[in-house]
Structure 1
Amino acid sequence: MAARGGRDERSGRARGLRAAGLALAGALLLGCAAAGWAYWHLSGNITSVDIDGALGDDRPARPAAVPSASPVPTGALNLLVLGSDSRGGEQNQELGGGDSGGARSDTAMVVHLDAGRTAATVVSIPRDTLVHRPSCPLPSGGRTRQASGAMFNTAYELGGPVCAVKTVESLTSVRMDHYVEIDFSGFAKLVDALGGVTVTTDVDIDDDRSHLHLDAGTHHLDGAEALGLARTRYGLQGGSDLARIELQHTLVKALLEQVSTTDLLTDPARLYQVADAATGSLTTDTGLDSLGELTELGRSLKGLAADDVRTLTMPVLPAPADPNRVVADEPDAGDLWESLR
């Protein structure tokens, strides 16, 4: 009887181990399936535009590649980052976006990453800058008309991302390696997913158009309030776009600080929420249109701190024919762009 009891006990243990193994295998399969679904979903969030295919070879040259043994990219890189005031949708409308047929580039920044990816320069281009707008190919065929003395943000309005890139490259003679666009609702969701952002303003802001009312001082803003800060203009003295850009630079630094102090890797649910918000309203060129490519770019920036980011505005002066518009202040503007080539 003792031998039989031993066999029963061993058999029970074996069944228990098999059950535990099956449960573990099932959990691993479910985890892999969930991870695969999350990757597919996040990559599927991203809208892409084939900038290289549309513009061909008629562009500024790329700098020569520098050999590197690093497993992640380390070369210098230029990105055109646009904030769009509408890609349609009720949420964008509630946040102050234009009509779905009249999207405009509300914010434009050229982001230059130095070789080594340990320093960056962010240069804002005022949307009221008068520029030469080149002829741009349209997705439907045909081309836009070139124009002299056109407002910078009309390039996106008329020809979308391709024309925005073409106009920036015409203005700067700097090759844009990548294009990134985020709309109103996506920016607000990203800030909320990060837990808000803390900024300090030196002036009172009272702007019904951007739905923002703040006293001077330090504030912790939610997504809608942070978007209002990025967009506010008429609540500032003189309604200046240049003053608005200064606030945007403050917000950029604050967001970088928020990201650096938020330990997303220890909170997978929060990490997914941030990634979903970041990709959900994102348009990129085809070189950044997958989660893998965006992750690789992010990994290459792990040594970049907020203090390593310099924020500037393209040097401008009032346009001779219209004091409400600006033009590039040469040779200072040209010297700045030359430093980023």
Structure 2
Amino acid sequence: MIQAKGYAVHSATTPFKPFGFERRDPNPNDVVIASRFCGVCHSDLHTARGEWGGARFPCVPGHEIVGEVTAIGDAVTRFKAGDLVGVGCMVDSCLTCEPCREGLEQYCEPGFTGTYNGPTQDTGDNTYGGYSDRIVVREEFVLSIRHGEQDLAAVAPLLCAGITTWSPLRHHRVGPGQKVGVVGIGGLGHMGIKLAKALGAHVVAFTTSPSKVEDARRLGADEVVVSRDPDAMKAHRNSFHYILNTVAAPHDLNPFLMLLKRDGAMTLVGVPPEPHPSPAVGALVMKRRSLDGSLIGGIAETQEMLDFCAEHGIVSDIEMIAMQEIDGAYDRMARSDVKYRFVIDLASIADAS
């Protein structure tokens, strides 16, 4: 077994503490990775603090991992020692059901294996994630990183925030000639703005905070609307081809549905702790509008997203922290006090007492 060091919570109400555990020795199709950076996702907070239910303790969160290959199994063909790689939200799936065969492992019918908070496909054991110094992952779920060394920390959030916004943008064929809205300017929203703009759309950002208007423009938005202003919202009615809604808090969806053109669609990627108020059916029926949801993305489209971002010089806006600062980072993240993603420098784990 491989000895690993990480940080874990042992209940929903206790702080993170150093945690030693074992990773499996590599199977023939496994890749052993020395982790260098890990992004901090709001899902980590929800899970570690028991807000979504189903947390398995001890819990080592983290599913936005960038690192270096240190060893490979005998059957691995795509990677070698020294390669820069990434691991996102999944580390396994059945690989045989219809979604898996179509490259949509996130919709695996028996259920994919999350990078943390398991269960594994074979024994059902809990998985431990990226708040650790190493990880062992089967080759099919390892991604190639083509960004430069100087960008690696800012690449980490692409493994969740990037693919969560990329997948619906690609599914709805966002591109030139389209007017696209992005609701919410946070960890997901700031990536949605960057990606939609790079895909060639005219991008309008929506925020409840006037203080974020200039920052949204810096991120690439062509226009910014303060959604609490009814006149500003009314001016955009019936004009959007597509809206990506990244907000993870319950809110009224109707004002945004009314912005869509005939046959327009809005995708929800944020998962609130309580349900949204039900949207008015008339808003959907009268213009043949659609409301859908999207879950992360498959491995092939994650690689596509990483390659696109490397080609276009796209990374996340980040704030680097040491592993020992994670509890404070969670408190700040709960207050939306980060622009726009914390990333852990995993070298700091070696400083744990």
TM-score scaled by length of structure 2: 0.27
Larger relative helix fraction: 1
Larger % of strand: which?
2
Structure possessing the higher radius of gyration over alpha carbons: 1
